Amino acid sequence: MLTFKRTGTFYITGQITVYQDNVNLSDLTGWTGQSELRTGTGDLVANLNFTWLDAAQRTFKLEVLDPSAWPLGIHNFDILLTAPDAFVVPTHTGQIRVEGGVTGA
């Protein structure tokens, strides 16, 4: 679980592993992604801006410039990837604990 203070810009990076027909795809060039942050009950907290850092290496970032209105607590997110041929793959669900900040709160 990630911990994030909502007084700053939300920004995480990572690398995605995708299997198609039991083959680990090493290059996701041409694929698109979208991501949402939702409460434990499924209410939308935010659309997370998905951007490839390097699709050939499967590295990405998720970013929100102003998350100050996000509710405190534990929230869920994933990334929904779509291949050029419309094959759709969701990633595993991740969790983020949103906390209030001390400085600038």
Could you report the per-residue pLDDT of 31-87, keeping only the tens digit for each? 999 999 999 999 999 999 999 999 999 999 999 999 999 999 999 999 999 999 999
The pTM score is 0.90
**Can you say whether residue 75 is alpha, beta or left, with left for phi > 0 and alpha for psi between -120 and 50 degrees?**
beta
Statement: residue 105 has pLDDT above 60: no
Q: What is residue 102's predicted lDDT score, i.e. its pLDDT? A: 83
Rounded Cα distance, 104 and 100, in Å? 10
- pLDDT category at 19 given cuts 50, 70, 90 is confident
In a domain, 46, yes or no: yes
In a domain, 22, yes or no: yes
**Residue 11 belongs to domain spanning:** 2-99
Task: Give the residue from 29, 85, 17, 92 showing the smallest Cα distance to 56.
Answer: 29
In a domain, 9, yes or no: yes
Q: What is residue 104's predicted lDDT score, i.e. its pLDDT? A: 66
Rounded Cα distance, 6 and 105, in Å? 9
In a domain, 91, yes or no: yes
Q: What is residue 91's predicted lDDT score, i.e. its pLDDT? A: 94
**Number of CB atoms found within 10 A of residue 58's CB:** 21
In a domain, 74, yes or no: yes
- The CATH number given to whatever domain includes residue 8 is 2.60.40.10
In a domain, 37, yes or no: yes
In a domain, 105, yes or no: no
How many structural domains does the chain have? 1
Statement: residue 29 has pLDDT above 80: yes
